[in-house]
């Protein structure tokens, strides 16, 4: 195997790995962890503490994923001859890739709003008072939104891969 192929394989691997980390983490959190925690622990302070600890660990991985995906995505796009530049709508491939990049930017915005704006603690006498409960609902809604955006990103990746592969096998 040629060294260029090995490098491309490693870049693709990293891109796939950090996609799985970010979108898989969202999927696990929204579909499995949050409902299980609420079911087992209720909506009390224990659940909030558990979810905050999980979110803290996931946030670090999300920020790392954002950086790695941006770098590896740019490196991967240069390999496809149909690529016409960042946010170009010159052909079908570039259009699909541009829409994917816009969805990716939306995911970053949602992640930042969720962690930076809604990540602040709500002050008050009760840990799960009305303001804190409202904040938790907003954070979960943003997680669900980001999961939906992540699924759209995966769908667009599939279309981009199909468009870059040349003649379809079917």
pLDDT digits (tens, 9 = 90+) for 44-58: 888 888 988 998 899
- Nearest residue to 58 (alpha-carbon basis) of 130, 150, 125, 124: 150
Q: Provide mean pLDDT across the span 7-28.
A: 96
Over the chain, what is the mean pLDDT? 88
Shortest CA distance to 26 belongs to which of 142, 127, 130, 123? 142
Nearest alpha-carbon partner for 96 in 159, 39, 138:
159
Residue 66 lies in a domain: yes
* pLDDT value of position 96: 95
Please compute the mean of the pLDDT values over residues 76-88 and round it to a whole number: 87
Query: Is residue 169 in some structural domain?
Result: no
Report the distance separating Cα 6 and Cα 99, nearest Å: 29
pTM of this prediction?
0.86
Q: In this structure, what DSSP letter does residue 124 have? A: S
Structure confidence at residue 120 as a pLDDT band (50, 70, 90): low
Assess if residue 69 is contained within a domain: yes
In a domain, 10, yes or no: yes
Say yes or no to pLDDT of 127 above 60.
no
Domain containing residue 77: 3-164
Residue 137 confidence class, pLDDT cut points 50, 70, 90: confident
Domain total for the chain? Answer: 1
Q: Is residue 170 part of a domain?
A: no
């Amino acid at each position: 195997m040629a060294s260029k192929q090995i490098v491309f394989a490693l870049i693709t691997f990293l891109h796939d790995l950090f996609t799985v980390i970010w979108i898989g983490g969202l999927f696990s959190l929204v579909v499995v962890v949050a409902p299980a925690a609420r079911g087992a622990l209720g909506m009390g302070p224990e659940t909030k503490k558990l979810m905050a600890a999980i979110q803290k660990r996931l946030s670090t991985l999300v920020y790392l994923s954002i950086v790695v995906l941006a770098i590896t995505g740019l490196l991967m796009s240069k390999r496809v001859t149909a690529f016409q530049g960042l946010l170009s709508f010159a052909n079908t491939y570039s259009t699909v890739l541009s829409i994917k990049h816009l969805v990716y930017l939306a995911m970053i915005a949602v992640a930042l709003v969720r962690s930076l704006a809604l990540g602040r603690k709500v002050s008050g006498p009760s840990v799960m008072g009305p303001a804190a409960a409202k904040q938790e609902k907003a954070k979960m809604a943003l997680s669900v939104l980001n999961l939906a955006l992540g699924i759209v990103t995966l769908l667009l990746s599939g279309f981009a891969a199909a468009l870059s592969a040349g003649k379809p096998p079917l």
